[in-house]
A = this chain, B = another copy of it.
Amino acid sequence: MTKNILLGHGSGGKLSHDLITNLFVKYFHNDILDQQTDASVLKPGSELISFTTDSFVVDPIFFPGGNIGKLAIAGTVNDLAVSGAKPLYLSASFIIEEGLPFKDLEEIVKTMSEEAEKAGVKIVTGDTKVVDRGKCDKVFINTTGVGALDIKRQKIGLGTEIKAGDKVIINGTLADHGMCIMSVREGLGFQAEIESDCASLNRMIGEVLEVSEQVKFMRDATRGGLATVLCELAESRKLGFEIDESKVPVKENVRGICELLGFDPLYVANEGKVLMIVGNNDAEKVLETLKKNEFGKEAAIIGEVTDEHHGKAWITTGIGGRRIIDMLAGEQLPRIC
């Protein structure tokens, strides 16, 4: 291979063919992808499937705890998992800036392959475009996923079964991903290094769904953070939420950098955090199950659903006050994922 990616690698001709064979098929290979057809033939094994897409444009493309490739796998795996589905197949589509070092692309692709393996999903189809220098920023990746959805779980994505008294659970500390990217981008390396929480949560979520049929809603708290998930849910389902800020886990160094830069951890992006709404009777059982998983060690019940003040999420602040959690007005952190 050449040292850097050339425009010709996106031509559909010989260089494209070489890139596919020597990079993508080499790392992603599986029985389906190896057939190298334009459209893959899948057998999800269920009547219903979940289907979701995300484009990743994170800057920088490498950061503590991951890279754009890990994010691209985990992000789409998580979107499938929170719908109640078992993630099975992903597509991977690359838009590459001419001149990207081949070794950077290889590292990203290798990480994607490892993360897909961990999550138990197959990358079954893909696409590569190369644009001239200065017309994109290093590399953008789209992943789109298909999961098998058990018919009894089809309402999880909608949240239609949520009612007052249900508990709000989070699987660990907030704001790690956003503050990791921010501190790298702003050159705040003098701080204790903050690692992104970027991870595929499908196995952990699968363990929870094994022990409880009272998981009524899940959502990964990415762009806009936990606050945005609560706002959207409160508004769309006409629910109220009461959140106890003192119960919301945030790492000390992350809290420090949030205060330094003026961010509220509730609004900062996560890439390995799922909000679960669980029936009161099963909340402790779900919490225990989460805590046994490597990605749920610091799980906590942080609040509950109320039948007051419909359409709003309220938070009790550390000093005993109360305020409404509102939707983020503008751009907080561009290109966080």
Contact = CB atoms under 8 A, between A and B. Distances in A.
A37 B95 contact: no
Chain A contact residues, majority secondary structure:
mixed
Given A41-B83, A85-B39, A157-B39, A144 B53 contact: yes
Contact of A40 (B51, B94, B130, B137): B51
Interface in A109-160: 124-127, 129-132, 134-137, 140, 142, 144-147, 149, 154, 157-158
Contact of A95 (B16, B95, B219, B334): B95
Given A17-B327, A52-B91, A140-B136, A228 B12 contact: yes
A311 interface: no
A10 B267 CA distance: 14
Contact of A224 (B13, B135, B157, B219): B13
Contacts of A318: none
A97 to B, nearest CB: 10
A93 to B, nearest CB: 4
Max chain B Cβ within 10 angstroms of own Cβ: one of A127, A134, A157, A228:
A127
Contacts of A53: 91-93, 125-127, 142, 144
Nearest to A81: B39
A330 interface: yes
Nearest to A36: B236
Contact of A147 (B39, B92, B136): B39
A3 B126 CA distance: 35
Interface stretch (A23-31, A42-50, A281-289): A42-50
Given A50-B41, A83-B38, A330 B125 contact: no
Interface residues of A, number: 85
Interface string A277-295: 0000000000000000000
B12 A223 contact: yes
A92 to B, nearest CB: 8
Pick the most buried of A40, A149, A219: most chain B CB atoms within 10 A of its CB. A40
Contacts of A142: 53, 55, 93, 142, 144
Given A7-B330, A13-B331, A93-B144, 18 more contacts: A6-B331, A8-B329, A10-B331, A11-B224, A15-B330, A37-B83, A39-B82, A40-B50, A40-B51, A41-B50, A42-B50, A43-B49, A49-B146, A53-B91, A53-B125, A55-B94, A135-B137, A140-B140
16 contacts: A6-B331, A10-B334, A11-B223, A13-B224, A35-B158, A37-B83, A39-B79, A39-B147, A41-B154, A49-B146, A52-B91, A93-B144, A131-B335, A135-B136, A135-B335, A140-B140
